[in-house]
Amino acid sequence: MFEVKVTETVFQNMHPSLIAKRIEGGEMISLLKKLDSIGYYALGVWNEHAFDASHGALYENPWERLKMMRKFVTHTKLLLSLTKQATEGQKRETFIRKAVYHGVDIIRILYTSTEMGEIETCVRTIQKEGGQGQIAIAYTAAAPYDIGHYLGIARRMKEIGAESICLVDQHGGLTPYSAFEMITMLKHVIKIPVHFHSCHNSDMVSMAYLKAIEAGADVIDASISMETPGCSGLSTETIVKALSGTKYDTGLDVATLKEISACMERWR
């Protein structure tokens, strides 16, 4: 049985929204404990908006917020999405060291494919500090970027030390059969785990998720339904229910997910 793993991105998605500015770190504790008990592969807790939300709006130390998350999430990996904006002017290597020190397990590097030198430096620093370096491939349908282009990038990413690859479709424009072809070829060529992320801003996204799973995606990003649709990923409850009882069953409990979503509604 091929069990699909899920990375929950609800906290990561809240950071760029007004919701993040209503939630102090202490209010998250009971929710963090529930999320940790679900059985997720990872919990996405950070992106480039995290400093603004915790420091700029709530007057909290963002590193203390991350430390608090690690304290109450003991069974689930923590994932950080790294962009140039995320470092808030700090030296990149220093930022990575701090992130791993405060509990981050996986760092997803969201740089462009023209910045391979910087990406390689990030991967080496992450691994030196004991974290897992994951490199994102940003999908676009624009010419001349065909599947051969993306496979070439993936090969290079593996060569510089990527421990996993995440195919990221920020615009929700990846068609279902293109998703199937992309994931199939990536799995065949690079032989390392492939993750899939898409923003739920088009009607094709749910179909793209299913075809990506059928093609062998190891882990998918999803978000508790109170944050969907829109710029977040596909609803966690939706994909878990859709896969229930199939060979791709996630093993997650829909009732518990709905309970968590209901708890979070009060922050809207």
* CA diameter of the chain: 48
- Give residue 144's pLDDT: 64
Predicted pLDDT of residue 21: 54
Nearest C-alpha neighbor of 45 from the set 57, 37, 36:
36
pLDDT for the residue numbered 61: 80
Give the chain's domain count.
1
Predicted local distance difference test score (pLDDT) of residue 218:
97
pLDDT at 57: 56
Per residue, the 3-state secondary structure of the chain, as one string, reads CCCCEEEECHHHHHCCCHHHHHCCHHHHHHHHHHHHHHCCCEEEEECCCHHHHHHHHCCCCHHHHHHHHHHHCCCCEEEEEECCHHHCCCCHHHHHHHHHHCCCCEEEECCCCCCHHHHHHHHHHHHHCCCEEEEEEECCCCCCCCHHHHHHHHHHHHHCCCCEEEEEECCCCCCHHHHHHHHHHHHHHHCCCEEEEECCCCCCHHHHHHHHHHCCCCEEEEECHHHCCCCCCCEHHHHHHHHCCCCCCCCCCHHHHHHHHHHHHHHC
**What was the pLDDT predicted at 179?**
94
CATH number of the domain that residue 58 is part of? 3.20.20.70
Give the pLDDT of residue 65. Answer: 82
Residue 210 burial (CB count, 10 A): 19
Taking 50 as the pLDDT cut, the residues of the chain under it are 18
**CA-to-CA distance for 227 and 217, rounded, in angstroms?**
23
> How much is the pLDDT for 172?
82
Tokens of 84: 């140039």
pLDDT at 83: 81
The range of the structural domain enclosing residue 187 comes to 5-267
Residue 143's pLDDT is what?
61
pLDDT at site 51 = 62
Instruction: Please give the pLDDT value at position 12.
Output: 77
Q: What is the pLDDT of residues 133-180, one digit of tens each?
A: 999 998 887 766 788 888 999 999 999 999 999 999 988 889 999 999
Q: What is the pLDDT of residue 101?
A: 95
Q: Provide the pLDDT for residue 239.
A: 93
pTM passes above 0.85: yes
For residue 107, the model assigns a pLDDT of 95
